[in-house]
Chains A and B, each alone.
Chain A
Amino acid sequence: MNDGRRAEPGAGGAPVEPGSNLIRLRDVSKTFQRDDHVVHALDALDLCVGRGEFVTVLGPSGCGKTTLLHLVGGFELPTAGTVSVDGCEVMGPGRDRGMVFQEATLFPWRTTRSNVAWPMEVEGVGRREARRRADRLLARVGLRGFENAYPSELSGGMRQRAALARTLAMEPSVLLMDEPFGALDAQTREAMQEELMRLWQASGLTVMFVTHDISEAVFLGDRVVVMGVSPGRIVEDRRIDLPRPRTAQTRTDPRVLEYRAHLWELLARHRAASDPEPERVP
Chain B
Amino acid sequence: MQILSKSKLEEALNQLGKNAELFVPLARGEESGFYPWSSYQAGSDRLMLDALNVLLPPKSVVFPQTERMYSFTSTGPAVEIKETFESPQPRIIFGLRACDAAAIACFDDVFLTMGFIDSFYQARRDNTTIVAHACYEPGANCFCEAMGVDPTEPVNADVIIRDAGEVYIWESKSSKGEKLTAALGSLLENKEAAAPGLKPFQQQANYEGVAEKLKGMFEDPIWEQLAATCQTCGICTYVCPSCYCFDIQVKSWGEEGYRFRCYDSCMYSEYTQMAGGHNPRGNERERFRNRFLHKLQFFSERYGKPLCTGCGRCIVACPAGINIVEIINNIKEADTSVRA
Q: Do A and B actually bind?
A: no
